[in-house]
Amino acid sequence: MNKPFVIAIDGPAASGKGSLAKRLAKELEFDFLDTGALYRRIALHTLESGIDPSNTEAVIEAAQNFGDELAKDYDDSALRNDGVGNAASIVAQIPEIRQILFNFQQNFAKNSEKGAVLDGRDIATVICPDADLKLFITASTEKRAERRHKELQSRGLDATYEAVLAEMQERDERDNVRLKDHMDPNVDNHTIDTSEMNPDDVFQRALDFYKSSSR
């Protein structure tokens, strides 16, 4: 059996990496894993159990009994809300939580049939360092806040651009401190800055990288 082709896509919040990853997986008929959603699932489970996300010991205990739930289908809107996103960025700082998810993510990539696309923060460096294609998707903080703001508005949610920008900066800071050794935009030099690009152009650029790297 051939080894599956693995595409690792990393980048900061709201850079467009999630939509790109999904579209690439669909185009190539690969399996797709949104790894941020795994941290969000643990965060949601923690919140629903009445546990404070910064209570490290309680979070670890809850997550240890949560293993099988990770693969279940979730109500996406519950996972996507900003409270859960913030809690996710707090629980993601706990090494034991990262270890629990490490195995899940590696197995997903290894056991995919044709290939797998994983998007997150540390896929190319920690989870799948041997990935066949590594992409880093980024955009300026202002652009990312602008997109997130529009998305919230389209969902009928009320938030000012300034508040979204401030939250984005806070989240970036937390993610960057923790992931400074893992998030590496220069890995393989396949960086796409989407600040001034539309989603179709980003997709085409990624597809070109894929074509020139596929075996």
CA distance 86 to 89: 5
For residue 144, the minimal CB distance to ligand DC (Å) is 11
For residue 29, the minimal CB distance to ligand DC (Å) is 23
CA distance 160 to 13: 18
Q: Can you read off the two tokens belonging to residue 122?
A: 């540390």
- C-beta of 29 vs 181, nearer to ligand DC: 181
Residues that bind ligand DC in the complex, under the rule CB under 6 A: 13, 35-36, 39-40, 85, 88-89, 92, 120-122, 171, 175
- C-beta of 92 vs 187, nearer to ligand DC: 92
- C-beta of 140 vs 204, nearer to ligand DC: 140
CA distance 190 to 104: 26
For residue 156, the minimal CB distance to ligand DC (Å) is 20
For residue 121, the minimal CB distance to ligand DC (Å) is 4
- C-beta of 28 vs 94, nearer to ligand DC: 94
CB burial readout 103-117, b (16+ within 10 A) else e: eebeebbeebeebbb
Q: Can you read off the two tokens belonging to residue 121?
A: 């923060």
Angle between helices 56-64 and 35-48 (to 10 degrees): 110
